[in-house]
Amino acid sequence: MIRLTDITSKVLEYHPKADIELIEKAYVYSAKVHQGQIRLSGEPYLSHLLEAAYILTQLKMDVVCIAAGLLHDVIEDTPADLKEVTELFGEETANIVDGVTKISKIHFKNRELRQAENVRKMILAMSNDIRVILVKLADRLHNMRTLGFQSERKQKLIATETLDIYAPLAGRMGIHWIKSGLEDLCLYYLEPEIYTRIKNETSQRKNEIDTFIKEVKQRVSEKLTEVGIQATITGRQKNSYSIYRKMVDQDLNVSQVYDVIAFRVIVHSIKECYEVLGHIHSIWKPVQKRFKDYISVPKANMYQSLHTTVIGPFGERMEVQIRTWDMNLVAESGIAAHWRYKEGRGAGKTDESQFEWLKQLLGWQKDLQDPLEFLDTV
């Protein structure tokens, strides 16, 4: 089980001067008001709050957000009220807790309409403080990790809701490790046989995949060293849900899905990104119409990279992403990257322009009567 010291030490790693008193105070208060509450796993309810808060430290969030993570269920599940939380922890923390509570009270209707309505409501909640959504995503990720203690009926309901709402939202915010984590857990509960088949097949191909990754990394490294470009090259297997989607979309068996590996080349400048692209295309033939320049035209969530697909060393398609280290920070943590502690300014402060995409979405949704129509704009 995660302990308070795991959380505070993690915060001090990425912000040595952080005032962790608010986190410690939130922990003591949550332990008090949740005392005696037990989860279906048999663990104290406090364990869930600690896990959610720890996930927020993995996003390198500020102390207010992490304190709100520890407090996110006190209004809904204990005698505590918003007034008391505000008096004890301040308006900023209380507003995040209140926002998470409101999202948790949303009731769902039929599946498609439910998805649209909730994406809208969640983005509206996020308009005041994006940390509301980050806390909710951390809450949902840990709940999915412990879903096995629920009844089979609840497992299906919660996994479906997560796949419809929370995984896409994490993707829209650019937090892809949470998105892929949620997707794989949903697949495990919704399509257990397919999930197991994918895991078994990729496990059997491990040596082949490892050889493939080693070969590609070596070829790229040799070429870039030759031209004097310093780069970090990684190769990873795509998540199980991505492989599942390819099976469904292209009507394939697991063994027929070849592009299960994604490569990433990280360099120090934008100029080098385009140079690396040229060098990769000189090694392997690019696939027509599979190049995307998200550096010149970033995604709405500020994601930037060059994407290309080439015919790799064994005659199979492979995807390569090229980006700078700054772009990689945003690619890993999405919008959350802009709430990290910055030298010379307070935690959680960011440029107004960085949330321009939110303003656009909110402006569009006000003009739309049909929530399904709004979903199309997201």
Q: Which residues are catalytic?
A: 76-77
Whole-number Å distance between alpha carbons of 194 and 124? 36
Residues in the chain: 378
- CA 181 to chain CA mean position, Å: 8
Dihedral of the alpha carbons of 81, 82, 85, 91, in degrees to the nearest 10: -170
Whole-number Å distance between alpha carbons of 160 and 156? 6
Whole-number Å distance between alpha carbons of 280 and 285? 8
Whole-number Å distance between alpha carbons of 137 and 314? 39
Q: CB of 346 within 8 A of CB of 91?
A: no
Which helix (H) or strand (E) segment is 262 a member of?
Answer: strand 261-267
Q: What would you report as the CA-atom Rg of the chain, rounded to the nearest whole angstrom?
A: 22
Q: CB of 310 within 8 A of CB of 281?
A: yes
In 221-248, which positions are buried (b, 16+ CB within 10 angstroms) versus exposed (e)? eebbeeeebebebebebbbbbbbbebbe
Dihedral of the alpha carbons of 27, 32, 33, 36, in degrees to the nearest 10: 120
Q: CB of 3 within 8 A of CB of 53?
A: no
End-to-end CA distance of the chain: 37
Q: Of 68, 93, 60, 127, whose CA–CA distance to 334 is shortest?
A: 60
Beta strands in the chain (DSSP E): 232-237, 261-267, 292-293, 306-311, 317-324
What DSSP designation does 290 have?
-
